[in-house]
Amino acid sequence: MLFSLLIAPAAAEAALPPSNPGTPPMSDSPWSLLPAASANAEALDTLYIFFWILCGVAFVGMIGVQAYFMWKYKKPAHGHAKTSPLTHNGKLEFIWSAIPTVFFVILFIWGEVEYMKQVTPPPDAMDVRVTGQKWSWTIEYPEVKGCSLTNDLYVPVGQPMRLTMTSVDVIHSFYLPAFRLKKDVVPGRYTVLWFEATKAGLYPLMCTEYCGDEHSSMVGRVHVVPQEEYQAVLAKACELKQGDAETAEDFGARVVTRGGCASCHTTDGTVKTGPSFKGLFGKTETLADGSTITVDENYIRESILEPNAKIVSGFSPQMPSFAGRFDDKQIAALIAYIKAQK
């Protein structure tokens, strides 16, 4: 557990867009620690380094003593060495038992103190709601009415954040490598995770509990910004309106990104857990009950708001409802985007 929180998985790099300027590198080498971007990470790194120094000293000491005894008590070239009549040494046995015990107690107390800090959110923590579903994270900010983001978490530097998390389908695991935090997200109950970011930047978040075919694509980003910029940055991120010079198709592409639609749908004809958008509009599909339907505006709208109403044959009912998350203008733009995928 401790090792997995500190060593950078390859997916951590994949979760970050390479074109984003200013993004801190996740690691300089396969042996280096991840960047520490939270108060919890810095404390855990100190414990981790102390643990490995302790293990290294113990290893060198044990191998050194063993090598010395092998040399000192090796069989003579001629004859046999006389065996010592001593059967044990009480003082020596006490020392080699007491010293490890002292360090075990130190590690236990140190770990317990840091654990209690981590499971006790401070009273001034800012609340965020996180919902996991196949295969994306929905992140909601109660302080901003109607703000619902997909796979993007915005936090200010130096402000404790409390995440209240649940799942709508299977068990997921919310993992922030640069913060050294991981917590299971379970259907039918709430789990809580808190942290205080210390360094501005862009960091990966991902699911580390296998949750189905597209588990590896359930990744997102944590945007850590200065406190004085946080409200403006969050307001802009939450805004999803069509620009004056923006076409409906381009706006629809942004709606697709906001909804995390690429987790299940492609635009190149490749079939994932959902049908590809390429050539979808106007196509006649066979439903699970054997009937047929033509993919038009009404069917797409119904599938967005009530995705399990009419399931295409060969697919399973896994898509979450976007009722309350997308308004009529956003749905219309999404339909225009799908229409454009010839």
pLDDT in tens, 265-297: 888 888 887 888 888 888 888 888 888 888 888
User: DSSP alpha helices (H): ranges in the chain?
Assistant: 2-6, 10-14, 39-72, 90-118, 227-238, 248-259, 297-305, 328-340
Contacts from 318-324 at CB under 8 Å and sequence distance 24+? 318/134, 318/169, 318/212, 318/264, 318/273, 318/274, 319/264, 319/274, 320/133, 320/134, 320/138, 320/168, 322/259
What pLDDT score does 104 carry?
Answer: 92
**3-state SS class at 271:** coil
- Say if residue 115's pLDDT is above 50: yes
Does a structural domain hold residue 2? no
Say what percent of the chain tops pLDDT 90: 32
137 and 219 belong to one structural domain: yes
Does a structural domain hold residue 137? yes
Count structural domains, the chain. Answer: 2
Domain boundary among 195, 216, 238: 238
- Say if residue 254's pLDDT is above 90: no
What pLDDT score does 185 carry?
Answer: 94
Token pair 């809580």 is at which residue? 192
Average of pLDDT values for 93-119?
Answer: 91
What pLDDT score does 26 carry?
Answer: 56
Q: What is the mean pLDDT of the chain?
A: 83
- Say if residue 7's pLDDT is above 70: no
Average of pLDDT values for 9-23?
Answer: 44
- Say if residue 19's pLDDT is above 70: no
| Rounded distance between C-alpha atoms, residue 279 and residue 121, angstroms | 49
Domain boundary among 238, 273, 293: 238
Average of pLDDT values for 57-73?
Answer: 89
Does a structural domain hold residue 71? no
137 and 229 belong to one structural domain: yes
Domain boundary among 238, 271, 286: 238
Residue 174, domain extent: 126-238
pTM exceeding the 0.85 threshold for the entire prediction: no
Does a structural domain hold residue 92? no
99: tokens are 């010293």
Does a structural domain hold residue 253? yes
Which CATH number does the domain housing residue 145 bear?
2.60.40.420
221 and 265 belong to one structural domain: no
298 and 197 belong to one structural domain: no
233 and 138 belong to one structural domain: yes
212 and 264 belong to one structural domain: no
Which CATH number does the domain housing residue 299 bear?
1.10.760.10
By C-alpha distance, which of 159, 156, 165, 175 is closest to 223?
156
220 and 289 belong to one structural domain: no
252 and 226 belong to one structural domain: no
Average of pLDDT values for 90-113?
Answer: 90
What pLDDT score does 79 carry?
Answer: 66
CB 201 within 8 A of CB 221: no
180 and 225 belong to one structural domain: yes
How many CB atoms sit inside 10 A of residue 18's CB? 7
Does a structural domain hold residue 64? no
- Say if residue 12's pLDDT is above 60: no
Does a structural domain hold residue 315? yes
What pLDDT score does 21 carry?
Answer: 38
- Say if residue 313's pLDDT is above 70: yes
| Rounded distance between C-alpha atoms, residue 220 and residue 14, angstroms | 10
Does a structural domain hold residue 189? yes
Main-chain dihedrals φ then ψ at residue 3, nearest 5 degrees: -65, -45
134 and 218 belong to one structural domain: yes
